[in-house]
Amino acid sequence: MALLSGRRIRALLRTDLRGRIVEEEKEGRMRNRSVERPRQTAFGLSAGILISCFLAIAAAPAAASSGQVQIGAQGGLSIPNIRDGDNVFSRGYSSRKGPFFGLFAEFKLGPHFSLRAEVNHDSQGGKWDGMQPVIIDLPGFILPPGLLLYADFSNEAILDYLELPLLAEVTWGERPRFFINGGPYLGYLLRAKTVTRGTSSLFVDDSGTPLLLPPDYQPLPPFSFEAETDSKGDINDWSAGITGGAGLAVPAGPGEIIFGVRFSLGLTNIQSDVETYGKNHTGGVILTIGYAYTLK
């Protein structure tokens, strides 16, 4: 993942080391815009998916006319991570925390079996604190272009998805009712943002060997990595995987309060530039609480 673009780092360096604002970042963004592949807006596509999903949910009771139908809402805590990194840019992440919320409909097809369709907002991503690779150009110094260096800072990748799981669910018991479920999901990327924090000098390796430049051959002074960068162009729009979990439902009024824990395992690569940044997959654990209202 392009967690901090070369243009942004160059601008930070030139501001800190030279004491002046550089317009190169803006010019680079304009150049990128001219060659960027066309994308649908997140709002337009997610709205279309949402409408399609609820049309399917509205039609489902006809197929399950002899069974019970529940609709509800859920929310909770997502604890995601970016997995399976295969180069220096894509490995080294740890878990972060983010919001999870959505709507669902459950169609009972038998005494102990039901089908559950959901529309969720799930915050994926990961954190990387400490020494990590950066590719930068140092103004005024003769260095090979694209030189790989290291810096010590905090880096959080925030990936917000609209996800559509379809889960088969097995239940037992009555008060409370226990369940396990699982199935595939399809996700569409709504937002990708990188938040970086901290200050650091530059190093030639991840063990902290300082970069020494002529004429004084002294370590560079620390510079700021405080930035929020839109990284949506570096992440594939679509993702898919499997999800499942377990929980219990406690009767409450005309419906049930539902407590659950689930996992998600992304099966598709999220990186759009595999050659530079390698491959990654999403995944994580989600803690939820919700309420389901029984229609019939």
Q: pLDDT class for 114, splitting at 50, 70, 90?
A: very high
pLDDT at 216 (0 to 100): 82
pLDDT at 276 (0 to 100): 78
d(CA 271, CA 196) in angstroms, rounded, equals 19
Instruction: Kindly report the average pLDDT of the chain as a whole number.
Output: 81
d(CA 136, CA 138) in angstroms, rounded, equals 6
pLDDT at 251 (0 to 100): 93
Structure token digits, residue 238: 């679509």
* Residue, of 274 and 115, whose pLDDT is higher: 115
Is the pLDDT at 45 greater than 90, yes or no? no
Q: Considering Cα of 246, then 250, then 256, then 259, what sign does the dihedral take?
A: negative
Give bridge partners of residue 75 from the DSSP assignment: 101, 289
pLDDT at 254 (0 to 100): 87
Count of domains for the chain: 1
Q: Which of 256, 245, 115, 102 is nearest to 177 (CA)?
A: 256
Q: Is residue 1 part of a domain?
A: no
Per-residue pLDDT tens for 256-278?
A: 999 999 999 999 999 888 887 78
Read off the CATH number of the domain in which 47 is found.
2.40.160.20
Per-residue pLDDT tens for 275-290?
A: 877 888 999 999 999 9
- Rounded to an integer, the average pLDDT of 149-165 is 95
- Three-state SS annotation for the chain: CCCCCHHHHHHHHHHHHHCCCCCHHHHHHHHHHHHCCCCCCHHHHHHHHHHHHHHHHHHHHHHCCCCCEEEEEEEEEEEEEEECCCCCCCCCCECCCEEEEEEEEEEEEECCEEEEEEEEEEEEEEEEEEEEEEECCCCCCCCCCCCEEEEEEEEEEEEEEEEEEEEEEEEECCCCEEEEEEEEEEEEEEEEEEEEECEECCECCCCCCECEECCCCEECCCEECCEEEECHHHECCEEEEEEEEEEEEEEECCEEEEEEEEEEEECCCCECCHHHHCCCEEEEEEEEEEEEEECC
Per-residue pLDDT tens for 96-106?
A: 999 999 999 99
φ and ψ of 285, to 5 deg: -120, 140
Is the pLDDT at 60 greater than 90, yes or no? no
Per-residue pLDDT tens for 66-102?
A: 568 999 999 999 999 998 877 888 788 899 999 999 9
Q: Is residue 100 part of a domain?
A: yes
> How many Cβ atoms sit within 10 Å of the Cβ of residue 177?
16
Per-residue pLDDT tens for 244-255?
A: 999 999 999 889
Per-residue pLDDT tens for 175-230?
A: 899 999 999 999 999 999 999 999 999 999 999 999 888 888 888 889 899 999 99
d(CA 285, CA 148) in angstroms, rounded, equals 33
d(CA 275, CA 11) in angstroms, rounded, equals 25
Q: Is residue 62 part of a domain?
A: yes
pLDDT at 19 (0 to 100): 37
Q: Is residue 223 part of a domain?
A: yes
Give the whole-number percent of the chain exceeding pLDDT 70. 75
Q: Is residue 55 part of a domain?
A: yes
What is the pTM for the complete model shown? 0.78
Is the pLDDT at 28 greater than 50, yes or no? no
Q: Which residues of 41-80 are buried (b: 16+ CB within 10 A; e: fewer)?
A: ebeebbeebeeebeeebeebeeeeeebebbebebebebeb
Is the pLDDT at 9 greater than 70, yes or no? no
pLDDT at 35 (0 to 100): 36
| Cis bond upstream, residue 215 (ω within 30) | yes
Structure token digits, residue 198: 């901290």
Q: Is residue 29 part of a domain?
A: yes
* Domain containing residue 94: 6-294
Q: Is residue 103 part of a domain?
A: yes
Q: Which residues of 221-235 are buried (b: 16+ CB within 10 A; e: fewer)?
A: eebebebebebbebb
pLDDT at 54 (0 to 100): 54
Is the pLDDT at 232 greater than 80, yes or no? yes
